[in-house]
Amino acid sequence: MMMMMGEHFGWGKVAAEGWRKGPWTAEEDRLLMEYVRVHGEGRWNSVAHLAGLRRNGKSCRLRWVNYLRPDLKRGQITPHEESIILELHARWGNRWSTIARSLPGRTDNEIKNYWRTHFKKKAKVTSSRNEKPNARFLRKHQYHQQQQQQQQYWELLRQQQHRELLRQQQQLNRQPAMKAEPINNSQPQIRQESCTCIISSFNPQIDHDQPGSLLLSLPEAISMEDHQLWDGLLWNFEDFHTNLTPNSAFGKANVHNLVAPFC
């Protein structure tokens, strides 16, 4: 059936090498998921033989990474995520995979697509500085919504981490022979990269002991007028900073250690 559809749209045909191309069928997805469940990620070129898929390794990897991975987050990019994307893109440019690492559950492809459709367009629009009062109101409104969504976001992250932890443990119980990273049994924690990447994207010289110094170290290119656009980015920096006690999960040493690789 899929072949028929493929032929109709010019997709799904079999390449010269014998590989199928075009949209994936439910059956192909099932086979790929089964393959990963049994063999784990990697060795994509052996998928064809071992899973009975007529897809090349590249195609399988892409399908898994962008669509089938269980930890993927579905749904719209939140304003919080959007601000992270904005900030990280300002720092790293089109390094989508790097940006994606700071957004748990989002893929580089997703972020890349989002950027192209939203910010490229937005850049054109906001180039005209004459902003209508209506737009200002909307942005303010959006900011308040963002504050609420941010709280929900952290809660979701916690839950997601917790689910992942349970899943890994279940997997371990099923396959005791498989090698696996030691699992921390303590309270599930939010991915630290999520926070540290944002912090590191500012001036690495900033004084983490000075509340507010993060804000002051914003790129000079950003005018105060544009700061509203960065509202989402500056979420809770005060709170975040306050929590950087030596005993907390986000101890200063931790932050510095984690920040270093990115600077």
User: Least distance to DNA from the beta carbon of 208, Å?
Assistant: 27
Query: Is residue 3 part of the contact set for DNA (CB under 7 A)?
Result: no
Query: Is residue 15 part of the contact set for DNA (CB under 7 A)?
Result: yes
Q: Which is nearer to DNA, 88 or 218 (CB)?
A: 88
The answer to whether 64 and 36 have CB atoms below 8 angstroms apart is yes
The answer to whether 93 and 119 have CB atoms below 8 angstroms apart is no
Contacts of 138 (CB under 8 A, 6+ apart): none
User: Least distance to DNA from the beta carbon of 30, Å?
Assistant: 13
The CA distance from 25 to 131, in Å, is 47
Residue among 39, 121, 136, 167 that touches DNA (CB under 7 A): 121
Which residues in 172-195 are b (16+ Cβ under 10 Å) and which e?
eeeeeeeeeeeeeeeebebbebbb
User: Least distance to DNA from the beta carbon of 41, Å?
Assistant: 7
Q: Which is nearer to DNA, 46 or 245 (CB)?
A: 46
Q: Which is nearer to DNA, 67 or 230 (CB)?
A: 67
Query: Is residue 119 part of the contact set for DNA (CB under 7 A)?
Result: no
The 3-state DSSP class for residue 111 equals helix
CA 218 to centroid of chain Cα atoms: 22
Query: Is residue 139 part of the contact set for DNA (CB under 7 A)?
Result: no
Site string for DNA, 34-63 (x = CB under 7 A): --------xxxx-----------xxx-xxx
Query: Is residue 137 part of the contact set for DNA (CB under 7 A)?
Result: no
Residue among 3, 34, 52, 94 that touches DNA (CB under 7 A): 94
User: Least distance to DNA from the beta carbon of 174, Å?
Assistant: 23
Residues from 96 through 115 that contact DNA (CB under 7 A): 96-98, 108-110, 112-114
Helical H segments across the chain, by residue range: 2-9, 26-39, 47-51, 57-63, 79-92, 96-101, 108-114, 120-126, 133-174, 192-200, 213-216, 237-242, 252-259
Contacts of 86 (CB under 8 A, 6+ apart): 119, 229, 230, 232, 233
- Tell me how many residues contact DNA (CB under 7 A): 37
State the helix-helix crossing angle for 79-92 and 133-174, rounded to 10 degrees.
90
Per CB under 7 A, residues contacting DNA are 5, 9-11, 15, 20-24, 42-45, 57-59, 61-63, 66-67, 94-98, 108-110, 112-114, 116-118, 121
